[in-house]
């Protein structure tokens, strides 16, 4: 295991009625004006909005609403939120939703306190913001684990980039499974696959030898697979929903990454595919993961064989390491089909005539995994996914 220092700033409240029990206490620590951020309005239909507004008003807060945060949030939407926060001298941001709302608000928190354009500040000057509006997250759509870190994926339409920016950590996150029960099953499945992807992207990083972080990761992957199957069989199963909600948090709260350098190359490829197509994130990942892993499996056969045995239960008897590894990828591909996710770009509905070389050349290349790809490699993987 690599040397590490571990510290975690987000307090996490898990369980039913977590907001009712804890939100007012957290709000007392901050000023009067709260930016209430959410997406398309589903929280108004399922009662979450009324409950949270009631808690905010009882705490004596003035509410400024920041609404309409879209999937794959845009840089323009970040600027809109930052302008609103500055105009009303917002003291605290409460982000209610899934990864899109939660990511967007991280950067709103930073941009509102920064005189410069944050994209140029981070990518041009290579600086990180230090003055931030404090925030809390209420998770109503799980999978991304976005409430657990300070990174955000933002789409800059002018630059045709879907890239990471860095903002604030949340002071706290509320994970109440009851708040997620109205998620469409398609979104539940997509979110859970994103969780599995985060785990795999960390597992197939380095170091390569057995370590405690990876052994915990194996358990989280098995749990995600088991509970997603249970959730599909019974969408009202709150036990399975609770486990999936916590698995998503585990994927991004740093525990699985302790002593690890992660891969996340598949995520980088999906981000740029998303910049050009606005595709669903989890589905974009499912369409690429197997082909990406088949492209690099020979370089990491030992680790892929362990994954096959320990996560998918592949019997190693009488098989070579590479045969075991490939059988594990067969199991992953079969699972993707079992849960109704796309396993290629055609099933995802991606048109064939995209500027694939341009997209491949815009992908950020990572160095933590087995592949150490070139842009030419990325293009070949895209071609295999079509």
**Contact at 8 Å (CB) between 225 and 196?**
yes
**Helix pair angle (212-233, 301-312), 10° resolution:** 40
What pLDDT sits at residue 65?
Answer: 98
**For residue 153, what are the β-bridge partners?**
164
Q: CB under 8 Å, gap of 24 or more: what pairs does 128-132 form?
A: 128/166, 129/166, 129/167, 132/167, 132/168
8 pLDDT band, cuts 50/70/90, is: confident
Give me the pLDDT at residue 320, please: 98
Q: What is the pLDDT of residue 231?
A: 97
What is the number of alpha carbons within 13 Å of residue 139 lying toward its C-beta?
Answer: 32
Residues linked to residue 152 through DSSP beta bridges, in sequence order: 165
pLDDT computed for residue 87 by the predictor: 98
* CA distance linking residue 225 with residue 227, whole number of Å: 6
- What is the arithmetic mean of pLDDT over 134-156? 96
Strand partners, 35: 64, 93
Chain length of the chain: 386
**What whole-number distance in Å separates Cα of residue 183 and Cα of residue 17?**
18
The per-residue pLDDT for 372 is 86
With beta carbons less than 8 A apart as the criterion, state whether 228 and 244 touch.
yes
Give CATH for domain 11-180. 3.40.50.1970
Mean pLDDT (whole number) for 185-206: 97
CB count, 10 Å around CB of 262? 18
In terms of C-beta density within 10 A (0-12 exposed, 13-18 middle, 19 or more buried), how is residue 197 classed?
buried
Q: Tell me, what's the pLDDT at 124?
A: 96
**What are the backbone dihedrals phi and psi of residue 322, each rounded to the nearest 5 degrees, phi first?**
-70, -35
Give the tens place of pLDDT for each residue, 327-382.
Answer: 999 999 999 999 999 999 999 999 999 999 999 999 999 988 887 899 999 999 99
Task: Report pLDDT for 67.
Answer: 97
Handedness of CA 319, 322, 323, 324 (dihedral sign): positive
Answer whether 11-180 and 185-385 agree in fold.
no
Mean pLDDT of 71-100: 97
Average pLDDT over residues 153-181: 95
Could you list the beta-strand ranges (E) of the chain: 11-14, 33-37, 62-66, 92-97, 135-139, 151-156, 161-166, 172-175
pLDDT tens digits for 261-316?
Answer: 999 999 999 999 999 998 999 999 999 999 999 999 999 999 999 999 999 999 99
Q: Where are the domains of the chain?
A: 11-180, 185-385
pLDDT of residue 233: 98
Q: Give 41-53 pLDDT, tens digit per residue.
A: 899 999 999 999 9
At residue 96, φ and ψ (nearest 5 deg) are: -120, 115
Beta bridge partners of residue 137, listed in sequence order: 95, 173
Q: What kind of architecture, by CATH, is found in domain 185-385?
A: Up-down Bundle (1.20)
pLDDT band at 245; cut points 50, 70, 90? very high
Mean pLDDT of the chain: 96
State the pTM of this model.
0.94
The rounded percent of the chain whose pLDDT value lies above 70 is: 100
**For residue range 66-75, what is the model confidence (pLDDT) as tens digits?**
999 999 999 9
Give the separation between CA 201 and CA 177, rounded to whole angstroms.
25
Compute CA distances 3 → 6, 214, 260, whole Å: 10, 15, 9
CB atoms within 10 A of CB 246: 20
pLDDT of residue 1: 64
| Nearest alpha carbon to residue 378 among 370, 368, 362, 341 | 362
Q: Residue 359 and residue 25: Cα distance in Å, rounded?
A: 47
Percent of the chain's residues with pLDDT above 90: 94
**What DSSP element (H or E) covers 5?**
none
């Amino acid at each position: 295991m690599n040397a590490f220092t571990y510290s975690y700033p987000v307090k996490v409240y898990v369980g039913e009625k977590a907001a009712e029990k804890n939100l007012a206490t957290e709000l007392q620590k901050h000023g009067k004006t709260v930016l209430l951020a959410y997406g398309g309005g589903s929280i108004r239909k399922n009662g979450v909005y009324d409950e949270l507004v009631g808690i905010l008003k009882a705490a004596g807060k003035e509410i400024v609403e920041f609404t309409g945060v879209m999937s794959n949030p845009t840089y323009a939407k970040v600027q809109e939120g930052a302008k609103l926060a500055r105009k009303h001298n917002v003291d605290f941001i409460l982000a209610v939703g899934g990864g899109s709302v939660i990511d967007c608000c991280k950067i709103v928190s930073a941009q509102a306190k920064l005189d410069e354009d944050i994209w140029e500040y981070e990518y041009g000057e290579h600086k990180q913001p230090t003055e931030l509006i404090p925030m809390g997250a209420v998770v109503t759509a799980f999978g991304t684990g976005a409430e657990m870190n300070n990174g955000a994926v933002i789409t800059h339409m002018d630059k045709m980039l879907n890239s990471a920016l860095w903002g604030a950590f949340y002071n706290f996150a509320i994970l109440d499974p009851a708040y997620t029960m109205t998620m469409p099953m398609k979104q539940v499945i997509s979110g859970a696959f994103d969780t599995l992807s985060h785990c795999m992207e960390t597992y197939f990083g380095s170091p390569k030898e057995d370590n405690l972080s990876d052994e915990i990761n194996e358990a989280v992957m098995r749990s995600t697979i088991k509970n997603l199957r249970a959730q599909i069989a019974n969408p009202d199963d709150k036990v399975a929903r609770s486990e999936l909600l916590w698995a998503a948090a585990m994927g991004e709260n740093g525990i699985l990454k302790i002593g690890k350098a992660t891969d996340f190359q598949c995520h980088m490829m999906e981000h740029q595919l998303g910049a050009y197509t606005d595709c669903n994130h989890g589905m974009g990942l499912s369409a690429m993961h197997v082909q990406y892993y088949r492209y690099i499996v020979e370089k990491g056969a030992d680790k892929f064989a362990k994954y096959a045995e320990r996560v998918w239960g592949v019997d190693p008897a009488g098989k070579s390491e590479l045969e075991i590894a490939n059988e594990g990828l067969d199991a992953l591909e079969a699972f993707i089909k079992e849960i109704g996710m796309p396993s290629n770009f055609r099933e995802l509905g991606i048109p064939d005539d995209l500027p694939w070389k341009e997209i491949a050349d815009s992908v950020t290349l990572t160095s933590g995994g087995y592949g150490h790809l070139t842009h030419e490699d990325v293009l070949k993987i895209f071609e295999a996914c079509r």
